[in-house]
Amino acid sequence: MIEQIKEMLGDPADLATDMMDNGYARLEIALFPGMVDLFQLNEYVLKPFTYRFDPDEFRRMLHSSNSFFRGIASDQWSGYLLKGHTLIAYEGEVYVYRAIRMLQITPEETKVEVSLQGPQAAFTENLDFNMMLVRNMYNTPDLSVEDFDPNNLSKSKLALIYDRTKRNETTLKEVRRRLEQIDKGLLMSAGQLSKQLSHAKYRLFPITQITERPDRLCTHLNKGKLAVLLDGSRFAVLLPVHFFDFMYAMDDLYEPTFMSRFLVGLRYVAMLLTLTLPALYISIVSYNPEVFRIQLAFTIDGSRAAVPYPSFIEVLLMLFMIEALIEASLRLPRTVGSTAATVGGLILGQAAQQAGLVSSIMIIVTSVVAISSFVLPNSTFSYFIRILKYAFVAISVFAGLVGVVVALFVMVVYLCNMRSFGEPYFALFQSKAGKASGNNS
């Protein structure tokens, strides 16, 4: 057996193989020590084989214990080994022993979707552990789990989770079909998975939601929707989603109703601001200053007195600065990040205004845009909004205020035209899954 395995795997240096002989019987063993729980292996295989050896008992254990699998075809051996199983050959038969090293024994802390008073546990990079988190929180017999083993390079297991009594059959079929079609490249993160599930590469809004919070996943399941967990990723993919789902932080469920309603409203306002404010600035300054009351129009124009170029150059300049700043403080190490923000935000902004490169109103616009885009609770969604803002800027350069309004109309049409796995993406008053698509299909 050992020769066969070495041949299959190309004899890597981290593969440990051994042939053991205790005087009565021989045992061949092959494993990747880094992936195997050596303590369990020692306790349940090596000790019984060496100094407490009893041939009958040992054979009985191999045959009856549920950690040992018999009769695995030889072409699947390497697959099991690569996932951290141990191969044992004893008395002419090959057993696969399941003692995988669990690196993860506590849930992670939430990092991306922080909650003040909600559960602090987040998913880990281990699928079994994540399943435990979900099962603990969504503790009903109706929870169904389907395993998918995609035939790609990373071979990470996928688990499709849903509530049997509540799910929508057509959506489920569609998702299953797409999960089976996953391509053959490397699949490393939930973000990649969600891109592959969404099919269309160029979309203006996400049709899946990525979350690290088990409580979000469970509320989602409870609405009759589906979730996909990927082994090796600490994020789950939720689908189908609605536009409105991206506007909720989990805290909204845990905090006083009035406050959370207020916050949701705030987020919508923030989204609209971050989308349209630069475009509105351009159209007000360059096309229709008379829309604003006269004092305000004068203030804006006065603050632009020193600026030598048209408003859209000013806007593009400042938007470039703020995007660069956000990107820099995201990628830099934590300690340097705050310095970058200070230098960029405070000093450059102030200096640019005093030097007459941009108007002071523009500095305010830029910071409102940046802050508003951080208010959105979902980072993927916030990215989409951030890039969409440039479409509005572009149309305002050519068509002014009317252009911005028409672009808003087009955006609403686009949203209403979107379907997330067969369910309408942006339809009001349709909380029940499948209600809208159900009666017409």
Given the rule CB under 8 A, which residues bind another protein? 287-288, 290-294, 296, 395, 398-403, 405-406, 408-410, 412-413, 415-417, 419, 424, 426-429, 436-437, 439-441
Q: Shortest distance, CB of residue 182 to another protein, whole angstroms?
A: 21
Q: Give the span between the Cα atoms of 115 and 263, in whole angstroms.
A: 14
Residues 297 and 263: their CA atoms lie apart, in Å, by 31
CB of 179 to another protein, least distance (A): 19
Please count the CA atoms within 13 angstroms of the CA of 63 that sit on its side-chain side.
7
CB of 428 to another protein, least distance (A): 6
The distance of closest approach from Cβ of residue 408 to another protein in the complex, given in angstroms and rounded to an integer, is: 8
What's the rounded Cα separation, in Å, for the pair 171 and 363? 46
What is the distance between the alpha carbons of residues 2 and 86, in angstroms, rounded to a whole number? Answer: 12
**Smallest separation, CB 410 to another protein (Å):** 5
Displacement of CA 354 from its chain's centroid (Å) = 42
C-beta of 56 vs 290, nearer to another protein:
290
| Nearest CB to another protein, comparing residues 306 and 416 | 416
Which lies closer to another protein via its Cβ, residue 44 or residue 244? 244
- Separation between Cα atoms, residue 333 and residue 26, nearest integer Å: 54
State the minimum distance, in angstroms, from the CB of residue 278 to another protein: 16
Q: Which residue, 387 or 410, is less far from another protein as judged by CB?
A: 410
Mapped onto helix, strand or coil, the DSSP state of residue 416 is helix
Measured from the Cβ of residue 9, the count of other Cβ atoms closer than 10 Å reads: 16
Q: 159: which strand partners?
A: 147, 229
Least CB distance to another protein at residue 316 (A): 21
Burial class of residue 3, CB neighbours in 10 A (0-12, 13-18, 19+): exposed
CA torsion sign for 107, 108, 114, 120 is positive
What residue type is 179 in one-letter code? L
Q: Which is nearer to another protein, 258 or 429 (CB)?
A: 429
- CB nearer to another protein: pick between 352 and 385: 385
- Nearer CB in complex with another protein: 112/415: 415
